Each structure stands twice: as C-alpha cells, then as structure tokens.
Structure 1
Amino acid sequence: MEDKNRHSTDSNNDHSQPCYFGVTPPHSLAVPKLQDLKLTKDLKTALKPHGMFESIQELTHMKEILSKLNGLVEQWVREVSIQKNIPPLVEGHVGGKIYTFGSYKLGVHNRGADIDSLCVVSMHIDRSDYFTSFYQLLKGQSEVSDLRAVEEAFVPVIKMRFDNIEVDMTFARLALKEIPEDMELKDDNILRNLDRKCVYSLNGCRVTDEILRLVPNIDSFRLALRAIKLWAKSHGIYSNVLGYLGGVSWAMLVARTCQLYPYAAASTIVHNFFVLFSNWPWPKPVFLKMPNNSVNFGFQNWDPRVNPSDRYHLMPIITPAYPHQNSTFNCSQSTRQVIMQEFRRGLEVTEEIHTNKATWDKLFETPNFFTKYKHYIAIVASCSTEGDQLKWYGHVESKLRHLTRALEFNPHIHLSQIWPKSFSPVEPKPGRHSTQWFIGLVFAQCGMNIDLTPDFSNFTAMGK
C-alpha cells in the first residue's frame, strides 16, 4: 500500500542527504486546519461536474484495454521471434510488455483523456518491426480505429482509438535478451547502448515514476494536479505543442509545490502553487531533484553552463530522470507572458476563495478569448477526406508555434496568443473537412498598416 505521507526521499541512495523532498528545505511544515479541509472538500466537489474523475466502470474499461494491448504485444513478440529463428526454448521467455505514463500513471486521468503507453521489447525486435508487423496486427483488430503511425516524430508513436479510448503508444528496444514480467524502468543502466529514440521513449515512464517518488503526499498532489490541469485547460495555456505547458510540466510544478508544503491539504497546495509561480524569477529553473551528473551514456543533461542552447530557454522545468531535459523548450516570450498573466490572475482568485469571497467555480471559468483582443488571425487546415484531415490537422498544429514565434519577432507586434482549442468552421464548405485556430494580436502601435504576408508565406511553406 502506498504511504501517502512519506517522510523523506533519497534520489541517489545517499543517506548523508537531508531528509526532505526536493532540492531545498520545505517552506512550511504546517498541517491542515479545519478550514483547509473544508476548502479541499469543496474543491473536489467543484471538479466533479468537469469530468475530472473517472467512474469505476471507466477505470475497469481502461484496464481491460491495456490488458488486451499487452496480450497483442506478447503475441506479436512471439510471432516476430519465430520469424527471426529464435530457438523455441528461448522464444517463450523473451517477453514484451506495456507500461503506462502520463496522467493515467500519475492517477489523475480524467474522463475522455487518452492513455499514454510504452511498448518495451528485447534486443532482437526492431523499431521497423513495430511500425510494420505490429501496426498491421493492430490494423486487424475490430476494436481499433483512427490508426496512424508517426514515425518521424521526435518520439515516434502509434496513435489509435482502441474500443473508443484514445491510446498513444511509443516504442523502446532494450539491449536485453528478455523482458522480465516484473521489470522496472528506474535503473539508469537500462539506457546503456540504446539509441536516442528509445531513450526518450523510455523517459516518459521514467519521469512519471520519479515524480510520484518525489512527492510527499500523493493524495494532496493528485487532487491539486487535477485542479491545476482543469484551470490551465480552461484558461488556454495547456499545450506543449503550441508553446504552453504540457501535462508533465504542470505535474512537476504541482509536485514542487507539494515538496515545499509536505503536509498541506490540496486546497492549500493550489493556492501556494499560484503564490510560488506568479513570483517565480524565470528563467531560474524548477528542479524536483538535482541532476545526477555521474550518469553518462552519451545523452546531454540540461545544463546552460555546458550547452549554449539551454541558455535561451525561458521557463525551464527540468525532468527528474536521466537524461534530465527541459520539458518547456517550446515556450516563447509570448506564451510565457500569457502564462504569467494567468498565474497572477489565479493568485487573485484563490485568495478570494480562501477568504470566502468566491467559490472554486470562479477559478475554472473560461475567459472569453474573442473579446480579449482587437485583432485576430484565423488559420484553417482543410482536406477533402476525413482520413487525410486527421493527419493534416496534426501536421499543421505541430507547426503553429513557429508562426506565433515569427509574429512575436515582428517589431510591430507586442504579443501573439494562440488559443489551444481548435474550432470547426461556422459555415463549412461542401466536400471539405476543416479545422481552424485563432491567434490574438496586440500591436506595438495603433493606426499603422502592417504587412504580415512574409510571416504567413514562411508558415505555409513550412507546412508543405
């Protein structure tokens, strides 16, 4: 059973280290007061209408899906092993396993969210096998729809809907002859002799596991993280691909708050989250633990003293597993400015909540993006078939942050903010499947004629 109030952590198994979680001592060891517990109960109640908790039936369904996928991986590994003339006595023991990471593994999976998973296999299975024979095996399953392979991604992935649940599955081939059923991924030595794609595929699980290990109170962490995720999505600042913060970044910020207030209730963690990060002196990095520089398998840790490119990162939040990376490398001046505005607004609202001047519902209200700015740009992605549009949508979305970054470098533009949610056209064209995004603009001066054609031309050329 998980100990929800763990009293010390030791990321390097060095008993000379101080007995507290994180890189600095806690700010407070105060325990919750009755008012804190009441606000926490109110917070949980406020989250429920937003689908932030799964039912027992939904959890059971996801477990069944993962079990089926694990069975398919085992079947596929056996078939490939036979094709590669692995001896029968060995073939039955090589193994292959599905691991989970992200919100599902953190225990904060909300209704309708996807499952992040990792397929781990032994050394005689190649990535090319994964994207050919395993892809074909999935294609033949009646439960699978919207199947697509994204081999060119930084972390290659197979995406699908499995029995109406979105599943993203990455791949890692270990330099081992077999994958034991009870194998854990926390040992840095499993990265030895692996290529970059396998290492970064593994890091999804390794980072998630470390976050859970570095949090003093799991229950408070999970409830506070559910609240912060809903707040960030409601306020249009939840999207790694568009230059905001993604799920792992939000989880690390909440985890760091928990480290500084190890006995606090979730309601206090949420308030202190805004206190802490509305005043954070970026680009000072956020660490859950200091990087272990004694491990070196040829992959760089984030370190601006050594890597010149790291010096330009604007909101560095450093992952707690080797190779330690900045999870917010897509962040731009504009997205940081928008995030900081929302941090400050979140602090104002939570202070009202803690003084009984507002309820939690106010924190989760979605602002009207379309009244915030005077000027907007619409980007439309359109295809003639639904299947092509699914791929084109993902491709265009992955390039949008380059457009917003180009716009913020335009001397006539003070701020560009993209809203992460996409929209269907109000008047769709017959025979076309379309999606559109909107960017709000603040110009440095009013009353000027500004030509943005070069920025748009560069963006459309990038998308081809």
Structure 2
Amino acid sequence: MEFETNYYSDTEGAVFWVPNQEAIHFRRVNPPLTCNSGLHINPRRPPFCPGFSPVNPLLVGFLELGFDPDVLMKMEVQRSISLLQFMADERLVPSPEEEIKRRNVIAKLKQIVMHWVKRVAYQCQLPKNRVRAASATILTFGSYGLGVHNSGSDIDALCVGPYFATMAEDFFVLLHNMLASRPEVTEIHCIKDAKVPLMKFKFDGLSIDLPFAQLKVISVPENVDLLNPFFLRNIDDTSWRSLSGVRANKSILQLAPNVELFQSLLRCVKLWAKRRGVYGNLHGFFGGVHFAVLAAFVCQRHPNASLSLLISIFFKTFAFWPWPRPVFLHGRMMPPTISSDSRFLMPIQLPCSPNEYCHSNITRSTFFRIRTEFLRGHALTKDILRPDFSWSILFDPFPYAKKYAQFVKICLSASNQDELRGWVGWVKSRFRSLLVKLEELQGFCDPSPLEYVDVDLAAPNVVFYWGLQPSRRDVIDIDFVDEDFMKNMSNGYRVPPGRMKLSVVKASQLPKSVTCNTGSKGVRARWRILDNSQRKIPVRTNSLPQEFAGLMATNGSAEFPSAGV
C-alpha cells in the first residue's frame, strides 16, 4: 500500500501524513506499510503538527533501515546552513551600508515627487486646499520590493500620481527635468514606446527604473494599498500594466507562509537561473516575477521545510511539471483557459489577478532549455546524502563555448552611450521575433542573455552570442535574417538611432571573454554536527544506496580524521 505523502520525524522515528490527515508511525503499524523514496510529494499544504519536524522524503529509506532520525535531521539543517554560507560568499545579500544607501535614495525620490505633484497641482490652477492636499508616492517592486536584491541590483520604483498628473507632459517632461537638474542624477533617458513606459536613470550611482501610474484620486497615500479595488477604479490600460509589478509583489509576500525562507529560496533560484543562462523575459526565459511565483508555490505547499529541502522540492516539482498546466498560488482562483499561443508553453498566473498571466516570451527553444535545467537541478539535488555534495556544482555557469559549435553574433552599436542604451533596449524588446525566425530556419537557438563588448569596434557597442545546434541546413542565410529583423526594428523608429549587424561565428572564433568560465566557486556542504563536541565524517559502504552508511565519530582532528575514539 502506497501513499502520496509528506514526511515528518519525531524523536523516535518517522511519521507521515496520509490524505485523511492521520499520523501513522512506521514502527507501530501492523501490518507494516510499504514505502519507497520515489513517492510523489503531496502538492497540498500539509497540516501543522506541533512536535514534529519535516523530513526530506529521500531520507525515509534511511529511517526505515534504522538510522538515527535526529542525526539525519541535523544533517539536513547543516545542508541548509552550508547553502546560506554559499549565498553569503556569493554576496547575494547586500551589506547594511548598501541597504541604508538604497533607503536614502527612495526617501529622496519620495520628496522629489511630492514637490513635483504640488507644482503640477498649482499649474493646473486647482484650489489652494487641493494643492495642499495633493500628494504622490514612490512604491518599490521587483527584486528590491521582494527583498531579494543583491549588491549590484537596480531598483524598480513606481511613481504613483493623482488624476490631474499626466504621463506625457507632467511625468516625461516636468518630472524628467526636475530629476535631470539634480546633481545626484545621471544617465537619465525616457523609454516612451514600451508596453510599460518609464524613465531610466542613476541616482547616487544606483540604477533606477521608474514607470508611472495615474490613480483617479486627488491624493495618493504614501503606502497606498494597490490591492484595494477603490484605487483601481477607471484607470487606463498603461497605468494598469505599470501597477501590476507592485500588486504582484504584495500578493506574493502575503501568500508566502514564511517570508524569510521564501526570500532565501528565491535568491538561490535567481542565482541558479542567471548562472545557467535561463533568466530574462526579453530573451524568452522566465523573469523575476515568474521565479517568484514558482518559489512561493513551493513554499506554500511545504511551509515547514528547511531551505535545502525547498531547493530539492523546487527542482523536482518543476522538472516534472505537466506543462502547459498553469501554476497558480493557493488563495487565488483557478486561472481561465489559456491560449494556444506558444507564449503559453509555461503559463504562470499573476497572483494579483485571476484573469492574467505573467507576460511570457517563451519559445520552443527556451522551453527546452528551461526544462533541461530543471532536470539538471533535480538530478544534482535529489541525492541529499552524497558525502561529496557541493552547492557550487548546481550554480556552475552554463558552458556555452563547449555546448555549441556555432553562434549568431548580434552586434548593436551607436554613436554614443545614451543612444546605445535606448537602441539596445528597443532591440531587446523585439528579440522574440528574431528568435522565432532563427528557430524556423535552424530548429533550435539558445539566446544567451549575457552581454559583451567588442573591443575592436571604436563605436560604443553591445554584443550577444546565441548558440546554434547543427541542423539539416549546412548554411544559414544570416543576411536574410538580418534584413527581416531590421524591418521589425524600424517599425516605430523613423530613423533607427543605432546599427545592428548579424553574423555567424564558430566557437573557435569567440573572444576570450566568452570562452572563459568566470563563475565563482562556492563552498562545499558542511556535514559537521554543531551541537556535538566530536567531529563526525561520512562513512561509505557498497551495500546501501548512494554508498552512504552513516557518520563516524573522530577525535576532531582535521589532519587525522580516522583516529576515532
């Protein structure tokens, strides 16, 4: 008899929850239940049981063989500690000084927009009492809003203004000029033609993305609740899209049972995705909000799990997820029927709206890449008791130069850095059409999100290298692809502000900056038991799965670990 179950441990042995929520002890059941380590994890949230701790399902086989569950649980805890140490070594968590700087920048931006909205109200000749009451605010979202930013992250901030503040004149002209006049602000430019129009600039050296949303109110509270329907009445489509990031963040944080564990899991997942080349919505992969929902999904269903267990479950869950079945969080309605559009190969519901999905640019190639990386992650994290386990292997950079024999080189250039920034953003927003065209001709293309600079070009430039798999076509007509994509680029620009050149290069022609593996190495897992004075080391045997038998006490000497007592 087998069950879909979540496992728990008490001080004597292992228990597990069956669907009727009855706690059953392995050693007290007659006749004994059969169980194997390949059971599917119950997707429903398990009931909370005081006095019991969650156990990785992969430990159950060892518990049945008589291993001390207390020791195994401590090993599980130590594996989480080693992961936290790895995160610290990778500087995934900003320093206190960096946090203070970010908070100060946000506070200054709030002061600026408050001064701005008063000027707008005065210019609109509103009554004096309304000018005094007028207010606007800054709300953060993205990685900073979720609390998972790192030292190099930019800040996604939303300017929320009242009904009389317009985007075209007041935001992109008046506020732009106010910001540009400040000495702390550099590299400011407007992106007006995007689906979510915004300003990009640096404030005290920190990169800021600032879209705008207009609410039909005279005064916007500083911490306005954008999940409250009152503030969403009669807003325009552009404002609705601008608000979605803040609303999604707030919903996710409300639905995550343990925010700190969710944040740690999401930090790890984002680092893994970036290292493995499957991060970036514009390149056809998952973006930050996609991974945030997936991480929250796992946390909801396993609220008592340790960090290392959550990582294992994350990869197991999505390596075998029956796409295109949608992913949506508990506490939200079942999403509607999805379109047959290829963008919905991996649908993920926006948690703030039952009728919307996270915007996706996924194609057949990127779907394959994401699934392959999920499977690799599962293969590396499923054997949790391997003595030679190292977190750094999971986060090894993807070896593009070894994987592909040919690459499409996309070189974007402009006369100056300001024009280049706008041109690169415009081209990247249309990358999906280029990727689909290359798939039609070649069958598969891996759009690496990594950006490089061609040092042999005098003009400012950005270069991308997309991997190509061998196909029935010996030669790809890259000039035809270039011409076709350039027509797409020209749509919306009377005169494109930059230049683009596509070419096919061999792996042997890649510059050294591409072929070198620059990924930093992490730390190995720590199996030391903290609350025991004696040092313990893994012991292997050929008669058990994964060749792991248990822990052997030593004299604590790192130089002579075999001198047991």
- 1:31 alignment counterpart: 54
Q: Would the aligned equivalents of 2:300 and 2:330 in 1 still touch at CA under 8 Å?
A: no
Match of 1:132 among 173, 190, 203: 173
Q: How does 1:378-397 map to 2 (within 5 A)?
A: 378-397=409-428
Shift of 1:238: 0.6
Q: Does 1:98 align with 2:98?
A: no
**1:141 to 1:354, Cα distance in 2 relative to 1, 3 A:** farther
Matching of residue 317 in structure 1 with residue 348 in structure 2: yes
- Counterpart check, 1:457 vs 2:483: yes
Query: 2:453 is matched with which residue?
Result: 424
Q: Distance in 2 between matches of 1:28 and 1:428?
A: 62
Report the Cα distance in structure 2 between the residues aligned to 1:238 and 1:311, rounded to whole angstroms: 18
1:109 Cα offset (Å): 1.1
Deviation at 1:407, TM superposition (A): 1.2
C-alpha deviation, 1:42, in angstroms: 0.5
Map of 1:166 onto structure 2:
207
Deviation at 1:107, TM superposition (A): 1.1
**CA distance in structure 2 between the aligned counterparts of 1:132 and 1:98, rounded to whole angstroms:** 18
* Change in 2 beyond 3 A, CA 1:92/1:323: farther
- Find the counterpart in structure 2 of residue 346 from structure 1: 377
Letter in structure 1 aligned against 2:357: N
Asked if structure 1 preserves the Cα contact closer than 8 Å seen for 2:256 and 2:296, the reply is yes
In structure 2, what residue type is equivalent to 1:95?
S
Number of the residue aligned with 1:441? 468
Which region of structure 1 is more displaced relative to structure 2, 205-214 or 29-38? 29-38
In 1, Cα distance between equivalents of 2:209 and 2:297? 27
In structure 1, C-alpha distance between the alignment counterparts of 2:140 and 2:391, rounded to whole Å: 31
Please, which runs of 5 or more residues in structure 1 have no aligned partner? 1-22, 294-301
CA displacement 1:408-453 (0-9 Å, x = unmatched): 122xx2310011011011x4223x111110111113337x344343
Count of residues in Structure 1 that have an aligned counterpart in Structure 2? 427
The amino acid across from 2:477 in the alignment is D
Relative to structure 1, the CA distance from residue 311 to residue 462 in structure 2 (aligned partners, 3 Å threshold; closer, same or farther) is: closer
- Partner Cα separation in structure 2 for residue 151 and residue 391 of structure 1: 10
**Take 2:410 and 2:182, find their aligned partners in 1: how far apart are those partners?**
36
For residue 454 of structure 1, report the CA deviation from its aligned partner: 2.6
Deviation of the 1:194 alpha carbon: 0.6
Instruction: Specify whether residues 97 and 260 from structure 1 end up closer, same or farther in structure 2 by C-alpha distance, changes over 3 A only.
Output: same
1:292, CA displacement in angstroms?
5.1
**Secondary structure of 2:438 counterpart:** helix
**Residues 293-338 of structure 1, C-alpha deviations (whole Å, 9 max, x = no match):** 9xxxxxxxx6336xx4668611001111126422242111100100
- CA change 1:134–1:438 in 2 (3 A) is same
Deviates more, 1:32-41 or 1:414-423: 32-41
CA distance in 2, matches of 1:227, 1:105: 17
User: Within 5 Å, which residues of 2 pair with 1:328-407?
Assistant: 328-407=359-438
Q: Distance in 1 between matches of 2:148 and 2:223?
A: 24
Does the C-alpha gap of structure 1 residues 291 and 152 become closer, same or farther in structure 2, counting only changes over 3 Å? Answer: farther
1:314 maps to a residue whose letter is L
| Offset at residue 252 of structure 1 (A) | 0.6
Looking at structure 1, the residues matched to 376 and 347 of structure 2 have their Cα atoms a distance apart, in angstroms, of 21
Larger radius of gyration: 2
- Deviation string 1:334-384 (CA, Å, 9 cap, x unpaired) is 001001111111111223455333211111111221110111110100112
CA contact (8 A) 2:130 2:218 kept: no
Asked if structure 2 preserves the Cα contact closer than 8 Å seen for 1:244 and 1:328, the reply is: no
* Correspondence 1:214-229 to 2 at 5 A: 214-229=255-270
**Contact 2:417/2:460 (<8 A) preserved:** yes
Q: Which residue of 1 aligns with 2:298?
A: 257
Distance 2:342 2:481 in 1: 26
Percent identity between the two aligned chains? 31
